[in-house]
Amino acid sequence: MTDKEVKLSSKNQIVIPKEAREYIHLKAGDKLLLTVSTSGHIMLWKRPESYTKHMKGLGRELWKGLNIKEYMENLRKEWK
């Protein structure tokens, strides 16, 4: 999925490109979460049907065998 440019309408609405909707299996009626970072970036997340099911075991899989210090250093480099 590559970056896509969208335009804010006069009614303050945007259209999420078809490619993005298909990539995250988004359909009409799905709920989204909007996060605004302190640096002004807007992020949209597909709201999970169940937060409990979504989070269960997530940390174990994400961090298994991961060098946290190295991961954080690489993440900081990406944001520069």
Give the pLDDT of residue 17: 93
- State mean pLDDT over 71-78: 86
Pairing of strands 32-36, 42-46: antiparallel
With beta carbons less than 8 A apart as the criterion, state whether 6 and 16 touch: yes
Give the pLDDT of residue 16: 93
Which residue type sits at 12?
N
Give the pLDDT of residue 13: 95
pLDDT in tens, 13-72: 999 999 999 998 999 999 998 889 889 899 888 887 776 765 666 666 666 777 778 888
Give the pLDDT of residue 43: 86
Which residue type sits at 1?
M
pTM for this prediction: 0.54
* Cβ-proximal residues to 46 (8 Å cutoff; 6+ apart), any chain: 24, 25, 26, 30, 31, 32, 33
* Cβ-proximal residues to 9 (8 Å cutoff; 6+ apart), any chain: none
The DSSP call for residue 48 is: P
